[in-house]
Structure 1
Amino acid sequence: MLILTSVLTTGALTLTACGSRDDGGSGDDSGGDTTLTIGVDAPLSGENSATGLGIQYGVKIAIDDANKKKLVPGVKFVLKALDDKAQPATGQQNASALVADKQVVGVVGPLNSGVAQTMQQVFASANLVQISPSNTDPALTQGKDWQSGDKKRRYPTYFRTATTDALQGGFAADYAYNGLKKKKVFVVDDKQTYGAGLAKIFREQFKKLGGTVVGTDSVNTGDKDFGALVTKIEDAKADLVYYGGQYDESQLITKQLKEAGAKIPLFGGDGMFTPTYIETAGGTSEGDLVTSVGVPVDTLPAAKQFIDTYKAKGYKGDYGTYGGYSYDAATAIINAVKAVKEANGDKLPTGNDLRKKVVEEVGKSNFEGIAGKVSFDEFGDTTNKQLTVYQVKGGKWEAVKTGTYNG
């Protein structure tokens, strides 16, 4: 399912700046406004679509709010959402399509770190800002040698509102060892950039704390039968399974593990944090845990209107994981357009100059979003380092610890 939210116009469109001039007749009050597009790239169908749709609609609500409030006078924002199906090659194609669309002034996404790797160069070459609400692989902002302390930012157009696995993996390991008092863990990953990276960081930190990794294994995305893996876990006598990957596979792993008689919890990262995990695994998910970025969005007063709108509109997907961060990412782009326009005599720059200046202004972001403070460090990483551990209790994700991790 390729979801595109089209620009509703009637009559002639005249290309202006990096957008189009709406000459009226569209049935709204935006006559004479310049139309600019905010792109979204995420898995909107198939694997990971529950969280991908949450990203799309988080951006949609931000755009609707900005237009209603006339946050940027004379500018009407519209959404263009492309489905990457969680596939890196498709993400790269989508990036090229968004770059080619001259109305696009910024992009929110993607969901998956592996997809982001294929998109960064495309956006950087076109000076088009990209803000991911969910990518957590440290290498995306700090380079492949980040663990050795040699941190280098390769793509000045890339930012993220989610904190990294360097913190999330350690935060989870600390809670597993000191909070749950688990000493023997079996670590599994899905071989993908996000999953394998997160599992590695968790594994290393758990061992540093004094825990024992009694076994490791990998699965393939799309796998359904985990009988052999379940046997390995049981034979290893682990008291915890840590999974690096998405909910699609982990919800089946925990179900098959518990049905085989193993009474041990499965712990994972934000890729598992969705109601879909519980719905599929059913009662076997009880006691399982995840870490996710930020604090519970349902507890944030600033997010109340966003949540109410999401529910009232009947939007599909899960807003709880990245919806708030997506809203804030889109708002950062919108605020940047406003700043560029005001600094240019209240006129939008023409051609590629608008995109370039939007990148610069996004880097200066400093505002309170609905999911927390929005600002970025020298690598484009968020300065919001909050993380939360959730556990399935009574068939729902319940926050059990919120804090930060300093290593």
Structure 2
Amino acid sequence: MRTRSLLILTSVLTTGALTLTACGSRSNDSKGSDSSSSGGGGSNTTVVIGVDAPLTGQNSATGLGIQYGVKIAVDDANAKHLVPGVTFATKALDDKAQPATGQQNATALVQESDVIAAVGPLNSGVAQSMQQVFNSANMVEISPSNTNPALTQGKDWASGTKTRPFKTYFRTATTDANQGNFAADYAYNSLKKKNAFVVDDKQTYGAGLAGIFKGKFASLGGKIAGTDHVNTGDTDYSTLVTKIKNSHADMVYYGGQYDESELITKQLKAAGVHIPLMGGDGMYSDTYIKTAGQAAEGDLATSVGVPVDTLPAAKDFINTYKSKGYPGDYGTYGGYSYDAATAIINGVKAIMDANGGKLPTDARAKLVDAVQKADFDGIAGHVSFDQYGDTTNKQLTVYQVKNGKWTAVKTGTYNG
């Protein structure tokens, strides 16, 4: 990895405090950090937005969508001079979908004085390892994809006792409390499925989502034909396939990522078990269809928000993503990543406007309050946060693989 050159004339970091003054130019680092010069001369402050996601290996297709969603937002802000006197840049770190690596990345980001906030991570389990680090540094963290309810509402959320664990943590994706119920309602009432076999990957996101689906499906009158667990990274699902086949289930619900579900459905269909596999947003990726091939036909996934390619506000974003040839899947979280970065950019402008056009010495802490007050129309929907740091945008969509493509079959909110 090449080393970036960075000139910072004055930069002091203490816990919860950030001082940034006139900065020089920054070279581009194609393996992590990007920047767009605002051009011209004079004093300029470089403000960095950190990005954490799996950029290689498992889950990297969606992780790269997060990285480049943020980059496009930063490039747009610089081109439009949204914050006079500031050039925004990004620093992207690869957590490889591993909690320990995510925690190391969070620690690295808070120690860099020019990093004012972070977007990410992709995985809820990784987020659990990062929240305390960012909170201790009074640094905003906005995930475009974490959906486990406990991250914002505390471990007792299911019993109705909701307590926000970290004031610095926000998300632009709605929670699994909505997604799992939405999926179960669709499976039972629209697909008319009555016997579901439920599988999860034992991870925070997957197990949590599967549990919510299971509870709702059963409450509607559905039968849980069986349950099982897999390990991330598994490739042979013959034992699981046999269990599903013997259960006489009419569908499979999978809580986890596409890396495993794409192989499960392929092996299931190869064994002659032609029932749909349904999952959550962790499964909604073009990579799922590419790997599973014809076996994916008829499978379903829920994902947060409205299909981004149907939103007029996202047209320029999609065109830019495609024209630049950026890797990864922008359709899952790219729009929410752009909006998360925009919330940070807008927040920086707000705290500077309140400080005579200069970045305050306690910029990180002030940015937390500014992001909490976010209220704007993003490219993926309206952006604002409730008292827990959760998005107020509760839109969800059910997609089904039809003719080799994810096709939206229902969009709405869960009201149950």
Q: Same fold (TM over 0.5)?
A: yes
2: CA distance between counterparts of 1:190 and 1:25?
41
Match of residue 29 from structure 1: 39
Match of residue 386 from structure 1: 395
1:399 maps onto 2:405 in alignment: no
2: CA distance between counterparts of 1:30 and 1:218?
57
1: CA distance between counterparts of 2:135 and 2:38?
35
Q: Is the 8 A contact 1:111 1:132 kept in 2?
A: yes
Q: TM-score scaled to structure 2, two decimals?
A: 0.94
**What is the deviation of 1:299?**
0.1
1: CA distance between counterparts of 2:299 and 2:278?
6
1:370 maps onto 2:370 in alignment: no
Q: 1:225-247 deviations in whole A, cap 9, x for unaligned?
A: 00000000000000000000000
Match of residue 13 from structure 1: 8
Match of residue 206 from structure 2: 195
Q: Is the 8 A contact 1:18 1:36 kept in 2?
A: no
Match of residue 237 from structure 1: 248
- Where does structure 1 lack aligned partners over 5 or more consecutive residues? none
Moved more, 285-294 or 31-40: 31-40
Q: Secondary structure at the match of 1:18?
A: strand
**What is the deviation of 1:316?**
0.1
**What is the deviation of 1:154?**
1.2
2: CA distance between counterparts of 1:94 and 1:30?
33
Letter in 2 for 1:337: V
2: CA distance between counterparts of 1:34 and 1:8?
15
Q: Secondary structure at the match of 1:349?
A: coil
Match of residue 258 from structure 1: 269
Q: Is the 8 A contact 1:7 1:78 kept in 2?
A: no
1: CA distance between counterparts of 2:384 and 2:45?
27
Q: Is the 8 A contact 2:4 2:26 kept in 1?
A: no
Match of residue 315 from structure 1: 326
Match of residue 119 from structure 1: 130
**What is the deviation of 1:362?**
0.1
Letter in 2 for 1:29: G
Q: Is the 8 A contact 1:19 1:104 kept in 2?
A: no
**What is the deviation of 1:23?**
4.0
> Which aligned pairs between 1:180-219 and structure 2 lie closer than 5 A?
180-219=191-230
> Which aligned pairs between 1:299-378 and structure 2 lie closer than 5 A?
299-350=310-361, 353-378=362-387
Letter in 2 for 1:92: Q
1: CA distance between counterparts of 2:55 and 2:348?
27
1: CA distance between counterparts of 2:152 and 2:190?
30
**What is the deviation of 1:297?**
0.1
Match of residue 98 from structure 2: 87
> Which aligned pairs between 1:217-232 and structure 2 lie closer than 5 A?
217-232=228-243
1: CA distance between counterparts of 2:274 and 2:26?
63
1:272 maps onto 2:283 in alignment: yes
Q: TM-score scaled to structure 1, two decimals?
A: 0.96
Structure 1 residues 298 and 193: alpha-carbon distance in aligned structure 2, compared to 1, 3 A threshold: same
2: CA distance between counterparts of 1:348 and 1:108?
20
2: CA distance between counterparts of 1:21 and 1:404?
46
Structure 1 residues 348 and 247: alpha-carbon distance in aligned structure 2, compared to 1, 3 A threshold: same
**What is the deviation of 1:25?**
9.5
Letter in 2 for 1:201: I
**What is the deviation of 1:13?**
3.1
Q: Is the 8 A contact 2:20 2:359 kept in 1?
A: no
Q: Secondary structure at the match of 2:9?
A: strand
2: CA distance between counterparts of 1:123 and 1:235?
47
Match of residue 33 from structure 2: none
Q: Is the 8 A contact 2:253 2:278 kept in 1?
A: yes
Q: Secondary structure at the match of 1:123?
A: helix
2: CA distance between counterparts of 1:71 and 1:369?
15
**What is the deviation of 1:376?**
0.3
1: CA distance between counterparts of 2:174 and 2:232?
24
1: CA distance between counterparts of 2:350 and 2:38?
25
Q: 2:188 aligns with which of 177, 183, 199?
A: 177
**What is the deviation of 1:22?**
3.0
2: CA distance between counterparts of 1:363 and 1:397?
34
Structure 1 residues 147 and 402: alpha-carbon distance in aligned structure 2, compared to 1, 3 A threshold: same
Structure 1 residues 25 and 291: alpha-carbon distance in aligned structure 2, compared to 1, 3 A threshold: closer
Q: Secondary structure at the match of 1:332?
A: helix
1: CA distance between counterparts of 2:200 and 2:253?
8
Match of residue 304 from structure 2: 293
CA-atom RMSD in angstroms:
1.4
Structure 1 residues 225 and 24: alpha-carbon distance in aligned structure 2, compared to 1, 3 A threshold: closer
Q: Is the 8 A contact 1:30 1:76 kept in 2?
A: no
**What is the deviation of 1:7?**
5.8
